[in-house]
Chains A and B, each alone.
Chain A
Amino acid sequence: AQSVTQLDSQVPVFEEAPVELRCNYSSSVSVYLFWYVQYPNQGLQLLLKYLSGSTLVKGINGFEAEFNKSQTSFHLRKPSVHISDTAEYFCAVSDLTGGFKTIFGAGTRLFVKA
């Protein structure tokens, strides 16, 4: 069975500082990995995804994530955050065996301070 662990429930950071949101997963098979963002009172939208190929994935709004198979991690990074990046971020995993489910982490609330 798959699982996703987001190691930080909340991450406060000052504007223009770098940020890393951590995500670890467990799965016995190859996986797809995702980061979604949720702004207040809205649904989730895809930030970026790793399916195969280059382990460094670039997404929208200047975010990127690196897939590390040996450490089973998929940490999200941004070199300089803005106030508008304040939101909840979800890491998610789905496997390649033809199943129809995606497992989401508990979420990390990023709070960017002026």
Chain B
Amino acid sequence: SQTIHQWPATLVQPVGSPLSLECTVEGTSNPNLYWYRQAAGRGLQLLFYSVGIGQISSEVPQNLSASRPQDRQFILSSKKLLLSDSGFYLCAWAHPSGQQETQYFGPGTRLLVL
């Protein structure tokens, strides 16, 4: 069966510090991968998605970046965090069927920027 992991679970960082959040998927090959942000009281905002190693599509221009160094690894990064980067970050994967179906979400990382 497939599983998805995210770490860390929670993170408190000062403004201007770097960020690295990691997401890994087990039990499937060549998944589509996604990063979402959920701000307090708001819905899900798609940040990045990837259909293969090294292939990243950005949905929202901001100070975040994503990388996919391995097939089942997806990393969200920032060089300098802003207060507005606080939120709940969710990674998700989907089967690479070419037609979007169910997304499977990780447990999330809660980021607080002070």
B43 cross-chain contacts in A, Cβ below 8 A: 90, 104-107
How many Å lie between the Cα of A99 and that of B11 in the bound state? 33
A73 at the interface (CB under 8 A from B): no
A105 cross-chain contacts in B, Cβ below 8 A: 43
Q: Is the CB of A45 within 8 A of B105?
A: yes
Size band of the A side of the interface?
20 to 34
With contacts A100-B32, A106-B42 known, is A46 near B106, CB below 8 A? no
Say which one of B12-20, B44-52, B60-68, B72-80 lies at the interface with A.
B44-52
Which residue on B lies nearest to A99, using beta carbons? B100
Task: Report which residue of A94, A100, A105, A107 has the largest number of chain B beta carbons within 10 angstroms of its beta carbon.
Answer: A100
Q: Is the CB of A101 within 8 A of B100?
A: yes
Contact with A along B67-99 (1 / 0, CB 8 A): 000000000000000000000001010100011
A residues sitting closer than 8 Å to B (CB atoms) are 32, 34, 36, 41-46, 49, 51, 90, 94-96, 98-107
7 additional A-B residue pairs with CB within 8 Å, beyond A44-B90, A90-B44, A102-B100: A41-B110, A42-B107, A44-B44, A51-B101, A100-B49, A100-B100, A103-B46
